[in-house]
C-alpha cells in the first residue's frame, strides 16, 4: 500500500507512457489547472511524490510514482452587471460555443487584468465550461490578442476541449484573418517562415529569433490601396502575436499596431486585425463547422479612409448569411 494522501488531495499514479515526464506536466494533466498553475503548486510545497514533498517543477517522475496534489479551489470572480455582456454568441450547443469577440476585451485574467475578461462574461452567460486549462481559463481553447476582434471557439466539456486542442495542434482547426498592412505588398501571395520567441530587449514584445519556436504565416492580397494593402492571412502555427510579428518582420506591419508598427491619430486605437473565419470538425458530430464574422465598423471605416472606393464592401470576408 502506498503512502497516504492528505484529505482534500488527489492521488495521481504515473502511467508507463508518462515515465520521465516533468512533474508539473503530470500535475497539469491530472488536475483542472494550467502548466503554470501546476508549477506554482509544486513550488509552494503543495505536491508530494511518494509521500515526500516534491522538489522542482522540472524534476522527472517515473512510472508508478504516486503524486499527491491538492484539489484546486475556484476563487469567485466579480461578474459584470447582468445584461451588459459585449459578446456576440455566433453558435452554441452542449459541447462548445463560438464567440465573436470585440476589440479591447481581454480573453482571460492575467497580470493587469484580474477581472472584466471574456472568461468572466462566459461565467455570467452560464456554464458549464471546460476546466482543462484551469478555472482562470474556463473553456478557452485558443486566444485572441486584446486589440484583435473576431472569432474564437470555447469548450463546454473537457472532451470537446481535448478534441479541439488536437485539431489546433494538427492545424485542422482553420483560422483566417483580415489584416490591413502598411505599404504595398508586391506579390499576390506570400508565406513567412520564421521562428518566434520573446524579444530579449523588450519583454512585452515577441520577435523573430533563432531561439524561438517555428512559425508559418500565409497571406494573399485582397486590395491594394494607396498606402496600405488589405490581406487575407492564414495561420499555420499558433505563436503569440504571430501575424503582427511576421508582417512587421517583412516590413509591412499591421496598421495602427502600437507595439510592432506606429501610432497614428487617424487610425483606430488597436491593430487593424480581425479574425474573420473559423473552421473545425465538431467534436461530437464530426460535422464540418464554418463560421464567419464581418468586418467591425471601425475597420470598415478605416478601409474607406485609406482609399477603398466609396460605397464598396470589402472583397473578403463574405457576408455570413451568404457564406452558409
Sign of CA dihedral 118, 120, 125, 128: positive
Q: Which of 24, 145, 257, 298 is catalytic?
A: 145
Alpha helices in 2-101 (DSSP H): 23-30, 35-43
Whose cell is 501546476? That residue is 38
Q: CB-based contacts of 114: which residues, under 8 Å, 6+ apart?
A: 77
CB 107 within 8 Å of CB 118: yes
Q: Is 145 in the active site?
A: yes
Residues ≥6 apart with Cβ < 8 Å to 36: none
With 0-12 / 13-18 / 19 or more C-beta atoms within 10 angstroms meaning exposed / middle / buried, residue 212 is: middle
Q: 183: which residues sit within 8 A by CB, 6+ positions away?
A: 227, 228, 229, 251, 252
Residues annotated as catalytic are: 145
Amino acid at each position: 500500500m502506498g503512502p497516504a494522501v492528505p484529505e482534500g488531495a488527489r492521488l495521481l499514479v504515473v502511467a508507463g507512457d508518462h515515465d520521465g515526464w516533468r512533474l508539473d506536466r503530470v500535475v497539469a494533466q491530472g488536475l483542472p489547472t494550467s502548466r503554470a498553475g501546476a508549477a506554482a503548486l509544486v513550488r509552494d510545497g503543495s505536491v508530494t511524490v511518494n509521500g515526500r514533498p516534491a522538489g522542482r517543477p522540472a524534476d522527472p517522475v517515473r512510472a508508478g510514482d504516486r503524486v499527491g496534489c491538492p484539489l484546486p479551489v475556484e476563487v469567485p470572480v466579480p461578474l459584470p452587471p447582468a445584461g451588459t455582456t459585449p459578446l456576440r454568441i455566433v453558435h452554441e450547443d452542449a459541447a462548445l460555443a463560438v464567440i465573436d469577440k470585440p476589440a479591447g476585451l481581454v480573453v482571460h485574467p492575467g497580470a493587469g487584468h484580474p477581472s472584466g475578461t471574456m472568461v468572466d462574461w462566459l461565467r455570467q452567460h452560464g456554464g458549464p465550461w471546460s476546466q482543462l486549462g484551469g478555472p482562470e481559463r474556463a473553456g478557452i481553447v485558443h486566444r485572441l490578442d486584446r486589440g484583435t476582434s473576431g472569432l474564437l471557439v470555447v469548450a463546454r466539456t473537457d472532451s470537446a476541449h481535448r478534441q479541439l486542442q488536437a485539431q489546433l495542434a494538427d492545424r485542422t482547426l482553420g483560422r483566417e484573418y483580415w489584416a490591413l498592412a502598411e505599404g504595398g505588398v508586391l506579390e499576390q501571395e506570400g508565406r513567412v517562415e520564421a521562428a518566434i520567441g520573446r524579444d530579449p530587449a523588450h519583454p512585452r514584445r515577441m520577435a523573430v529569433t533563432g531561439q524561438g519556436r517555428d512559425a508559418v504565416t500565409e497571406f494573399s492580397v485582397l486590395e491594394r490601396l494607396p498606402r496600405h494593402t488589405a490581406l487575407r492571412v492564414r495561420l499555420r502555427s499558433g505563436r503569440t502575436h504571430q501575424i503582427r510579428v511576421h508582417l512587421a518582420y517583412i516590413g509591412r506591419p499591421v496598421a495602427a499596431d502600437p507595439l510592432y508598427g506606429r501610432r497614428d491619430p487617424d487610425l483606430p486605437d488597436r491593430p487593424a486585425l480581425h479574425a474573420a473565419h473559423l473552421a473545425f470538425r465538431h467534436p461530437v458530430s464530426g460535422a464540418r463547422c464554418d463560421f464567419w464574422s464581418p468586418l467591425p465598423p471601425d475597420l470598415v471605416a478605416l478601409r474607406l479612409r485609406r482609399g477603398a472606393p466609396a460605397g464598396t464592401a470589402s472583397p473578403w470576408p463574405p457576408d455570413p448569411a451568404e457564406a452558409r
